[in-house]
Structure 1
């Protein structure tokens, strides 16, 4: 991993933004470089910025969160750290930042932001979630925060602890820095594994001490006995197979005989079924013969049906013809009546046409005059209404004029009373500039006072922290001394327990005693072993937990067992002391680490107290100088403000004075604008009043003339109305004309319908007469064809054996019934064929089996003999298995 560039802002004492480019040629060519400077210059802050950008934490402060950020510079509202680095995974940019609410120094801390992206320009953001960024950084660099601060960036104070430590402590510190503590765990686990495996070995040796191996002569005898038993087994198996074969043959012959007998019974049953089906079979044969003539009979039946249908149609047509002739005469009379009515209605319509035209012309003149009268009435009402509106408008304008004249007097009185405010038109800009300067100095004084109060609090806090750090340092020094004392006592106790020997020497001595104990057990006789048996524990020879010959024995504990037990206790105690020593060493390391941290914190607290005191002095001096400047500027501003009646400038809020002056200027300018506007409105109102007087006079004259004209038109309208009532009454000419048009249309339609009905009846009569002729001709021709078809069918019927047509019809069967009888007949025939074939097959097979003559004995004698052979074979195989088991156990014991 290689750091290429570091950027940060507002961290500890380094205010503002800072950039360090480690890819600069000077860093590359010189190789090694150092960060130097006095205490508080910011050396550790640069290292903290690297950790902060990568992991969001620092070695001194730990994780930076919303609740705790001691690294952000005082009196600032935001900070950040960004590092660009290169690793085997590529080039990356990691950014961490945090700000206060609205980025104000007094705002609450907000949640920090942390992200890692590709190192190129506008690189893709890889991760931005706080928890996930640390995981991605570890993937890209191969190090988490702890390994990074051990191997790349050692925490401040870490080397000092390393140089002052003893040899063993240096080894442990190097383990902590390099992350090699795993090798200590491996060594401890190897030792534990070795101890467990040795215990297993001792147990296996104790178990194998009781194994017994057969003598060669006894093993040979068992092998010979096994061979004899196996030969005997072969002979019994051969006899059993021969017996089983004979039994199978006798059972097969008996089965064939029974099957032949069963087939004979089945043949008798089938013969009875065939006899019962014989009448149905004859019906089926007659139906099949009749089915062969179905085509010819169907043609004959169809011809007969057509002949009967035509004869019926001919009869119906002849019966309907007189009624159609009478109906035709009736429709002809109706046509003549309709023609006469149409002529009468048309004549009436022709006579009324001139009157309709005259009345329409008169109605049109009446309508036009009514429109003129109506329009004139509307116009007169509108003109009268408009005149009234104009009079109201004139009254309103006169009222407005009076009010405007009153407002003008009020404005002129104000301007005369406040004439000194006219100076503000040109002088307010200068006053605002001076007030702005005073306001800036006033804000500066306020900020300095807040800084002074904060500096005092900082000094007080620094003093408290210094006292607390000193007390903490003393307490941790006492804990370190106590840990060293306890460690020395534990080491001394372990050395006394081991008596200047190593623990592995005691473990070796125990292993030798265990081997010696196993050898003694191996050479001991059974009588001495019996004395060691204990109820409930397995026997080392047979494994049994019950010992009838040693019931109630309490085994004697020999000297070796006592010594082994003593060594077990010593080794256990030593291992406990070793664990205690390791724990105390860890406590000592932790106490030393905490003491170093306390010393560093105490030093930082002292520096903070010194810096706070100096900062308070500087702030106090700045506050005095700024207050003097504020007094001088305030007096200069008062010189200009006294002519306006202002004798004092408020010291707490200058914006109120400026606001009051702006309001006075605004009121003065507003009153000037108001006076101009009122004068303009007064002139406009006088002009509008003069115009309204002329308009009202003109409109009254036009209204009187229009009313005289309307009176003349109303007289003409009354004369025309009287004339129309005399000629046509109140009837509507359009309605009367439509009535006559409708009567003509209806007469013509009635005439047309009568003609259509007459033509339709005439057509029906003509069609009926033609149909009668056609039917008579068709019936005549079909009669000769029908005789020919009947003759042909009679010849076929007699040839098939049917004496009459009725006999033929009785022989016919429906197709489903015919198919059912045919299927039943086929089923019975198939059963007869199958049964004959099976009878012949079983008789042939029985003859073949009898010719084999496998045995002369009876089945009742062979079955008990076969059962006895099976029992003998089972006993013999058990004996063989027992012999094989003994030989296998002997081979296993020899191998062990």
Structure 2
């Protein structure tokens, strides 16, 4: 609320209509102004007008506010314009006597509240006294009592605000300044102070219950401290040596691990070499057999020829029944054919070359059987070249045709020659031998096919084993690389720890933010503490100045009071003289009748001091002196009131300073206690008077915490990398375990194939021997034809 103007009519000593504007010059331009004047000049009436216009009450007339009306007047009013928020309001209080006469009966008091719309005044509410009072309190924010204690302080009531209770003053100031939040803050501070006080009491009780150490015990503890520090330094050196030993042990463990890995790799290579022994042996056999490639070629040709010969024998077996029939026919017609004997002899002579050719074939069969035994180790190359011998087969077919022709000629010859009657029996034997030989050749062919299949399977399994060995070696190399990387990361991790443990770093990461926050709070407490020290110093200086001024003003007031008392006594004396002079003047007619030496008809005295004719002048003089003395007394009283007001103001200010000092001292002590308690709780040694040092410490802790965070982040990253390497090793180990069975099965299959190949070689060797025997029998049969 802001007052804009006051208008009044017939209030107390201010008779008539008066207007005071606070929103125009020169009052509006002065900022601060005083209402001064002699006693009874109407200073307080202006304040009464403001109070009665707003609240309908005045401090000087609590029982009957109408006493404020000027005597011998018929009406009065008080009107106040004020600004509340952004609106301009006018409050008016008025009362009148009946018919406007000064001796008329008093009418009912009227209240009015209006708002300025920009062009005119608009009434607010019902204009009932209760409604107007409520609206005024809402607009001003103060009730009547609060208004008297804060805004309008009547003469002699300045201390009323100061004498108000703490709750009343707090409520008043809160409403005046709209600082209700500070009440909440104050309540919080009070609760916190109470809690801190209880905590302080506990600490004090604990401190009181803690026995103090005597000097002897302190010396012992200091000596122990010195010894402990020496032992701590020694322990640090030992720890440093231990860290060096640990680093050496870590390197030793790495070397042991590397040696183990190399040994494992050596064993794996040895096992791999042992697993490749069959292949190595096969390769050695291959190198030995490579020189028999030409003989093997001849062996294959011999096999083809033997096969063709077997087919030829089969054809001869088919012709045996015809030969037997031919023998019967020959016996029946033996006589008839005797004449043809000579011609048969000639035919025999012609058949001898053919028999010689057959014998030569038998010799070739023997040679081929021998070559078969010599070339058995080179069967690995037989299958591929076996498929390329179609031309030789065609050639042998031609030879078979020639042999068939020769056999037909031989049969014809036998039919024409009787001396060869035993040939059918011999041919039957030869047929059986040739059948057995053909069966053996079929077995040989089957074994050769099985041998080729086994070799194909062996090559496939060896390829699988080679692929597995390559993958295994790659996984082993990858695992070794992972182990090397893990070892390097572990060393880097040890370097990053810099002699600290992970628990220590975690504890630092947890504690340092608390210490940083505590340092921030301690710095704020230190700043508040130092400001309170400055405030207390300033308050004390101001209080000393106020005390000196109070003493000076009190002395002046005493002098003025003494002078006023003397002036009052002098005024009383002058008034008595004036009264006597006036009394004498009333008896002038009687005084004229008094004769000198004669008794006074009134008092009987013969002494007449006032008989002098200059009494009139004395009365005028004494009246003038009384007036002068009255003015002097009034001036002294005014000056005394001013001095009293000033002295009361100074004393109030001194008391306010004392309260400020007390409050600041309490806050000072609370800040100091809280600071020291926080130092004890956080085990710190901050200096309360050095906020800059606290801030520097806090910056150091922030930097340290930043380093700890970076180290923890680096450790987490290294741990992730180490875990990734370890996980890869686990996967490699799992792959090796999962595939070891497959590799074992492959190796077993290779061994089985090698065994089968050896068995097939043995069977082929046996069949070759049997073929040799059969060939010998064929030769023997053929020899019987000679």
Q: What is the TM-score of this pair, normalised by structure 2?
A: 0.23
Q: Which has the larger radius of gyration?
A: 2
Higher relative contact order (CA 8 A, sep 6+): 1
Q: What is the TM-score of this pair, normalised by structure 1?
A: 0.20
